[in-house]
Each structure stands twice: as structure tokens, then as C-alpha cells.
Amino acid sequence: MPATLEPAVFILEEPYVSDLLAATVAELGLPVLDTPIARRRLTGQHAVPLSAAVEFAAAAARPGARLYSNSENAIGWIAAHLAHAELPRRIELFKDKVAFRDLVADLYPDYRYVGLPLSGLRAFDPSSLRAPFVVKPAVGFFSLGVHVVGSPAAWPAVVAEIEHEVQALAAIYPDQVLGLERFVVEEVIEGEEFAIDAYFDADGTPVIVDIYAHLFVSADDVSDRVYLTSAETIARLSTPAMEFLAEIGGRAGLADFPVHAELRIDGAGRVAPIEVNPMRFGGWCATDLAHFAYGVNPYRCYLLGERPDWVRIAAETAGRTTALIVSDLPSSVDLAAIESVDYERFAARFSSVLELRPTEFNRYPVFAFTFVDVPSDDLSELHAVLGADLREYLRMRT
């Protein structure tokens, strides 16, 4: 086992453990909590020992321990078994969007937001915020339940749609991942959206392991369809990203802690946070984009204290853009009725597919994660898939 700077442990949970993550867990040989998906995904991976709850909790609670979980489904276990540690408090501070907004409120004094229970949405006065504004679960994931409200007149219809979604989404994700009883209503944050995967080292210094831009088809698009990264993206955004991470890390007292931060940056270079997700990098397998784009393994970086050499990486990857395509499906699709997906025809949309990863499409409203390369001066393939109706690749049961 490679020598680590600090004790390090893994919690592997639903909904998805990528082959890269499973192979990294096996390679490092670090303690892994015994969960059903860990047993299933690590079978044959050099007999990785799985730890029972009591011994794993003891390892995770050691001073300076670095815990990584691929999924916020682990939050409930951490709250129950590590209640005496500082980790649950740090997780809650970022997982609750209202608490996070309170943490940075003085940095953005003109920005307005309000927290509301689900039962209070209908009574909310939509004219009290500048339109357009956004409403989303206070504890959220994967842009689920997120809506852009274009005008006060649109509010009743949006609330009705949220009430309908709550019934469908409640059965897919636990409350710690997607809380549908509390919402935050907030003004739209202007600018280009991007995401950062980073960790705070033992001294509280942030270390970036990837930065990727989030493409949208229009101003009111809230989907997670396309993320892209390039040497230019890293060079342009790393300084404002580091400044933001240092600020929130200092306010929250972060050390030995991974985050997936989503930000917007306007034309004047001002950075405003959307959210900071604790204990993990990009959800599902989004963080693996660093592996395909730069040969950077974000899991190793955090657990072994490695720091990517971005100067060297930029020189080696100039002119190339690497993207992640999330094949999401609308809520109107009956997932249980999907018989198959024409993956070959979907892959043919792209000129250079690095890897296509099918998912359990009967359980989750996504049928694949696809990593592709495109020239940096021609993003037409990415823009074409942004607004595409991907139901054409589904074969439904009759």
C-alpha cells in the first residue's frame, strides 16, 4: 500500500461507483466501509478488506483522517456513527443551501434569498424577489427539483410542478441527499457556470484537482447535460477559484476535506457561489473527467496528498477539450418501461468517444455517462447534444 500523508478511508454508496474509483480503492488498499455496493463493486478487486461499522468509525475518527465518499447517501451513516466528530457539522454547513448562504451572506450583501418549507411555497409572494429567480431544494443533488421562475405570474405553475416532482423523486434519493421538505428561493446568479473539484489539505490550503465549465442551451436551462474542461479553462478560472476556496475554507475551518463547488463568474471576473457539496468531488462519476482530460486521478490526489502540475498539464493538453455528456431523461419517462438503449447509435453522435458508461436506466433518469474529446475550436458536437431529446435512443416495452 502506498504511504499516505494521513489516515484515509472510503465509503462507497449508491447510486454509482465507477471502474476508476473501484480500481483506485483496490490499488490503495485503504479501509472501506462494508456496504452492499462496496461488496458488489469490489468483488475480484484483489480481495479488498471491508470494515464493519464499529472499526471503520474508529478509523474515520482518528485525528487527521481523510474520508472520501462517492455519494451523499453516506451522510446518514456519518451522522449516526461519527456524531462526536467535527465532520457531520462541516457536512451540514454545506449540504444545507440556506446555511451555506448564511455563511457567505456578508460577501454578497445585495443578493437576496429566503428559505421556505414545501408547505409554504404557495403562500410565498413571488414579487418580493427580482425575476427571474430560482427555486430549489435546500438539500439538493444533480439539479433535481430546480426551476427558473421567469415572472411572478409563473409561480403557481412552478409550485404545482414541484409538488408533482416531490412524489416521484422522494422514492429515488434519501432525505440526506435530496431533501424535499425545505426549499430555497433565490435571485438568479449571472455569469458563466463552472464546477471545481478540490480538497483542503491538513493545513487548510485548497488544492484543485479539476475545473470544468457547465454548458447550457439557454438562460432558463437547469440541466446537467454537458460539462467540459481544457487547459484554457484551468488557466482562466484557477485564480478566482482558489481565492473563493480559500475564503470559504477559512470561514468553515476546513482541513482534510474534499468539496465539489459550483460557481458563476461574470464578465468583470466577480465570483459568486451556487453551492458547495461536501465530502466528495463531482457526483456520480463527473470527477473522472480529470482522468480522461489530464491523466489526473482525483481520488489519489486527495487521499495521498498529491497536487497536479497544472503548468505541465496545460502545455501537454493545449487545443483539446474533453467533455462529459450526461444522458439525462425527462421526468415524463416511465423508467420501468425502458427495455433497452441504443448505445451504439448514441455514441455515433460523437467523433471521439473515450468511454461510454451505461447506467441502471430503470432506476435512475440517466442512461449513460459518456466522455468525449473535441477540438477546442469546434464545440458543435457538444452544443448539438445540449438540447437534444434523448428519448429517441430508448426502446420502450409495449
pLDDT tens digits, one per residue of 30-82: 899 999 999 999 876 555 678 999 999 998 988 889 999 999 889 889 999 99
Domain boundary among 93, 127, 159: 93
Asked whether residue 128 falls in the same domain as residue 22, the answer is: no
Give the pLDDT band of residue 221 (cuts 50, 70, 90).
confident
Does a structural domain hold residue 105?
Answer: no
From 172, 187, 202, give the residue that closes a domain.
187
Res 160 pLDDT > 80: yes
Q: What is the pLDDT of residue 162?
A: 85
Sign of CA dihedral 150, 156, 162, 164: negative
Give pLDDT tens digits for 271-297.
888 889 999 999 999 999 999 999 999
Show the cell assigned to 182. 425545505
The percentage of residues in the chain with a pLDDT greater than 70, rounded to a whole number, is 92
Q: In the prediction, which pLDDT does 191 show? A: 87
CA dihedral 204, 232, 357, 284 (to 10 degrees): 30
In-domain check, residue 315? yes
Tell me: cis bond preceding 132? Omega within 30 of 0 counts.
yes
Q: Is residue 104 part of a domain?
A: no
State the Cα torsion 138-191-301-230 to the nearest 10°.
140
Lowest average pLDDT, out of 8-22, 129-143, 225-239, 264-278, goes to: 129-143
**Integer CA distances (angstroms), 87 to 57, 140, 253, in order:** 12, 19, 11
pLDDT at 310 over 90: yes
Tell whether 63 and 117 lie within a shared domain. Answer: no
180/211 same-domain check: no
DSSP codes of every residue in 66-108: EEEES-GGGHHHHHHHSTTSSHHHHHHHHHSHHHHHHHHGGG-
| Contacts of 130 by beta carbon, 8 Å cutoff, 6+ apart | 112, 187
pLDDT for 1 beyond 50: no
The Cα 376–Cα 43 span in angstroms is 39
pLDDT of residue 45: 58
Residue 73 resides in a domain: yes
What does the DSSP 8-state code read for residue 297?
-
99 occurs within a structural domain: no
DSSP label of 57? H
Confidence of residue 224 (pLDDT cuts 50, 70, 90): confident
Give the number of other Cβ atoms within 10 Å of residue 394's Cβ.
17
Bridge-based pairing state of the strands 179-187 and 113-117: antiparallel
- Percent of the chain that is helix, strand, coil (3-state, to 5): 35, 25, 35
Quote the pLDDT of residue 7.
72
Residue 177 has pLDDT above 70, yes or no: no
> What pLDDT, on a 0 to 100 scale, did the predictor assign at position 46?
57
The rounded mean pLDDT for the chain is 89
d(CA 211, CA 208): 7
pLDDT at 6: 57
* pLDDT greater than 90 at residue 202: yes
Residue 311 and residue 359 share a domain: yes
- Whether residues 263 and 379 share a domain: the answer is yes
Residues 347 and 386 in one domain: yes
Residue 63 within a domain:
yes
Residue 3 pLDDT more than 50?
no
Are both 197 and 332 inside the same structural domain? yes
% of the chain surpassing 90 pLDDT: 62
pLDDT of 85 above 60: yes
Provide the 3-class DSSP secondary structure of residue 160: helix
The stretch 15-42 carries a mean pLDDT of 92
Neighbours of 392 (CB within 10 A): 9
* Structural contact between residues 320 and 230, judged by C-beta atoms closer than 8 angstroms: yes
- Give the cell for residue 161: 410542478
* Residue-by-residue DSSP string for 179-242: EEEEEEEEEPPPSEEEEEEEEE-TTS-EEEEEEEEEE-SSTT-----EEEEEHHHHHHHHHHHH
Residue 257's CATH number? 3.30.470.20
Within this chain, do residues 139 and 30 fall inside the same structural domain, yes or no? no
Structural domains in the chain (count): 3
Q: Are residues 290 and 165 in the same domain?
A: no
233 found inside a domain: yes
CATH for 116:
3.30.1490.20
pLDDT of residue 2: 46
Taking residue 375's Cβ as centre, other Cβ atoms within 10 Å add up to 13
In the predicted model, what is the mean pLDDT of residues 310-339? Answer: 94
Give tens-digit pLDDT for 86-119.
Answer: 899 999 889 888 888 899 999 988 888 888 888 8
- Identify whether residues 127 and 245 lie together within a single domain: no
Q: What is the pLDDT of residues 146-158, one digit of tens each?
A: 888 999 999 999 9
Distance CA 97, CA 137 (A): 8
Q: Read off the pLDDT band of 331 (50, 70, 90).
A: confident
Q: Is residue 311 in some structural domain?
A: yes
Same domain, 35 and 169: no
| Residues 245 and 392 reside in one and the same domain | yes
177 is in which domain, residue-wise?
112-187
**Among 147, 162, 187, which residue terminates a domain?**
187
